[in-house]
Homo-oligomer: A and B are copies of this chain.
């Protein structure tokens, strides 16, 4: 297969981890006789520095003309504590999601056998956990109108959802559940929010088309608790943008490190694959960033194009690296000094 892949390393540890994912994809290409072409482009703080624009048109054009996007990370502390900054790195990522219509962010969460002891949670709580989170990604309070009064004393953000936005991701979630454990849990705050009540209504209607799937509802505050008390109760989680952001980061503690969690952002025309971790500025350039999330994002990319054996081989390589403790410090059980590059090389060689 021929695939053009845009690589957007972004900020912080982004370039270190995506370069390992590219390495692994190249190994797959040569092993399976595929033709993968990689083209890099800037996004985020680094693009602000160069072009004063977190998402240069050139980058967007590239994304539109490729088959898939491999994304690194975004964010820089110099913007985080400057509430008055007009241009911010995150706008690049948010605009990219919106422009490409990447409405469904899919985040698999599972407990790795080799890492059960690494989690802050007790082993019997997490063992066997296997969740797929479907987070709506182009709507809600992220994209609603933002206002700041002239005198700077009143701010607002509008959370808005339409039936159509809810329907399209709900169908994906139910379809996923049909191939899994036949359960969808909708997380919302329907006892307070009008948008949540619309979610509950629309999702309940759609559930009628999927009689073999059980639909369950949880208020987000309770869900944040249940995720820790008994994560095994979940199969597919369906939720809106902001709740999905919070709940999926929280769920990362199950895997033992946020450095393991991959995600796919899917739209009607485009698809982007990115770790759920951030730019981790403190780790930049130190060779300690965990490349597994980015490498597993590459595996999700392959699956997206039907290359299941290829993806499986990557997963086997990751599993083996975890078992043999070829892991960066965040999850290394013997505190060996294994670098980002070493993990990538190991998986490359395995392939």
Binding site for B on A (CB under 8 A): 75, 79-81, 83-84, 88, 90, 94, 120-122, 125, 141-142, 144, 146-148, 152-164, 189-195, 197-198, 200-201, 204, 217, 220-222, 224-225, 227-230, 242-243, 245-250, 252-253, 258, 278
Indicate which residue in B122, B158, B161, B224 contacts A249 across the interface (CB closer than 8 Å). Answer: B224
- Whether the Cβ atoms of B253 and A194 lie closer than 8 Å is no
Measured CB to CB, the nearest residue on chain B to A203 is: B83
**Does A162 lie within 8 Å of B157, measured CB to CB?**
no
Q: How far is the CB of A104 from chain B (nearest CB, A)?
A: 18
Judge whether A225 and B197 touch: CB under 8 Å: no
Q: Is the CB of B154 within 8 A of A163?
A: yes
Given known contacts A148-B197, A224-B224, what 8 new A-B pairs fall within 8 Å (CB)? A83-B190, A88-B191, A121-B122, A155-B197, A157-B195, A221-B249, A228-B228, A228-B250
Lowest 8 A-B CB distances belong to which pairs? A224-B250, A221-B249, A83-B197, A155-B198, A146-B194, A156-B160, A83-B201, A153-B163
List 28 A-B residue pairs with CB atoms under 8 Å apart, sorted by A's residue number: A80-B190, A83-B190, A83-B201, A90-B191, A90-B192, A120-B228, A120-B229, A121-B122, A121-B228, A141-B192, A142-B192, A148-B197, A152-B198, A152-B201, A154-B160, A154-B198, A155-B161, A155-B194, A155-B197, A156-B158, A158-B158, A159-B159, A222-B249, A224-B224, A225-B249, A225-B252, A225-B258, A228-B253
Instruction: Check if A194 sits within 8 Å of B250, measured CB to CB.
Output: no
How often does this chain occur in the complex, in copies? 2
A221/B194 in contact, CB under 8 A: no
Q: Which residue of B lies closest to A165 (CB)?
A: B154
Check A200/B246 contact, CB under 8 A, given A121-B122, A147-B194, A156-B160. no
User: How distant is the Cα of A248 from the Cα of B147 in the complex, in angstroms?
Assistant: 28
Nearest opposing residue in chain B for A228, CB measure: B253
Q: How far is A79 from B198 in the complex, measured between Cα atoms in Å?
A: 14
| A176 CA to B201 CA, complexed, in Å | 42
A22 to chain B, nearest CB (A): 27
**Chain B hits for A81, CB < 8 A:** 200, 204, 217
Query: A227 CB to closest chain B CB, in angstroms?
Result: 8
Which residues of chain B have C-beta atoms less than 8 A from A194's C-beta?
A: 146-148, 155-157
Instruction: Name which residue of chain B comes closest to A247, CB basis.
Output: B224
C-alpha gap A254/B246 in the complex (Å): 18
* Closest Cβ neighbor of A154 among chain B residues: B162
Tell me how far the C-beta of A87 lies from the nearest C-beta in chain B, rounded to whole angstroms: 12
Report the bound CA distance from A250 to B83 in whole Å: 27
User: A83, A163, A217, A220 — which one has the most chain B CB atoms within 10 A of its CB?
Assistant: A83
Q: Are the CB atoms of A159 and B162 closer together than 8 Å?
A: no
Other-chain contact of A156, B90, B125, B144, B278 (Cβ < 8 Å): B144
Closest to A248 in B: B221
